[in-house]
Amino acid sequence: MATNVIMPQMGESVAEGTVTKWLKKIGERVERDEPLFEISTDKVDAEIPSPAAGVLAQILVKESETVAVNTVVAVINGEGAAVVPPQAKAETVSSPSVPPPAPPAAAAAPPVAAGSVAPPTPPGEVRSSPLVRRIAEEYGVDLAQVHGTGLGGRVSKKDILDYVEQQSGAGQGAAAASQPSAQAAPPIQAPGPTPAPVAPQMVFTGPTQVVPMTPMRQKIAEHMVTSKRTSAHVYTVYEIEMTRVVEMRERHKNEFERRNALKLSYTPFFVRAAVEAIKQVPIINSSVDGTNIIYKRDVNVGIAVALESGLIVPVIKRADEKNFLGIARAVHDLAERARTKRLSVDDVQGGTFTITNPGSFGGLFGLPIINQPQVAILGVGAIEKRPVVRDDAIAIRSMVYLSLSYDHRVVDGAVAEQFLTKVKKNLESWDEPVL
DSSP per residue, 226-292: HHHHHS-EEEEEEEEE-HHHHHHHHHHHHHHHHHHSS---SHHHHHHHHHHHHHH-GGGGEEEETTE
> What whole-number distance in Å separates Cα of residue 279 and Cα of residue 305?
24
Q: Shortest approach of other proteins to residue 310 CB, angstroms?
A: 47
Say if residues 288 and 373 touch (Cβ distance below 8 Å).
yes
Cβ proximity to other proteins, 129 vs 214, nearer residue: 129
What is the greatest pairwise CA distance in the chain?
Answer: 111
Asked about 412 being catalytic, the answer comes back as yes
> What whole-number distance in Å separates Cα of residue 48 and Cα of residue 6?
10
Cβ proximity to other proteins, 127 vs 422, nearer residue: 127
Q: Shortest approach of other proteins to residue 124 CB, angstroms?
A: 15
Say if residues 123 and 134 touch (Cβ distance below 8 Å).
no
Cβ proximity to other proteins, 132 vs 284, nearer residue: 132
Q: Shortest approach of other proteins to residue 33 CB, angstroms?
A: 21
Q: Shortest approach of other proteins to residue 123 CB, angstroms?
A: 13
Asked about 407 being catalytic, the answer comes back as no
Cβ proximity to other proteins, 110 vs 153, nearer residue: 153
Cβ proximity to other proteins, 158 vs 385, nearer residue: 158
Cβ proximity to other proteins, 89 vs 134, nearer residue: 134
Q: Shortest approach of other proteins to residue 135 CB, angstroms?
A: 9
> What whole-number distance in Å separates Cα of residue 154 and Cα of residue 166?
19
CA angle 398, 264, 315 (to 5 degrees): 105
Cβ atoms within 10 A of the Cβ of 201, count? Answer: 5
Residues that bind other proteins (CB under 8 A): 129-132, 134, 150-151, 154, 156-157
> What whole-number distance in Å separates Cα of residue 100 and Cα of residue 88?
12
Query: Which is the catalytic residue, given 33, 298, 346, 412?
Result: 412
Q: Shortest approach of other proteins to residue 158 CB, angstroms?
A: 8
Contacts 24+ apart (CB under 8 A), 289-298: 289/373, 293/410, 296/352, 298/350, 298/352
Residues annotated as catalytic are 408, 412
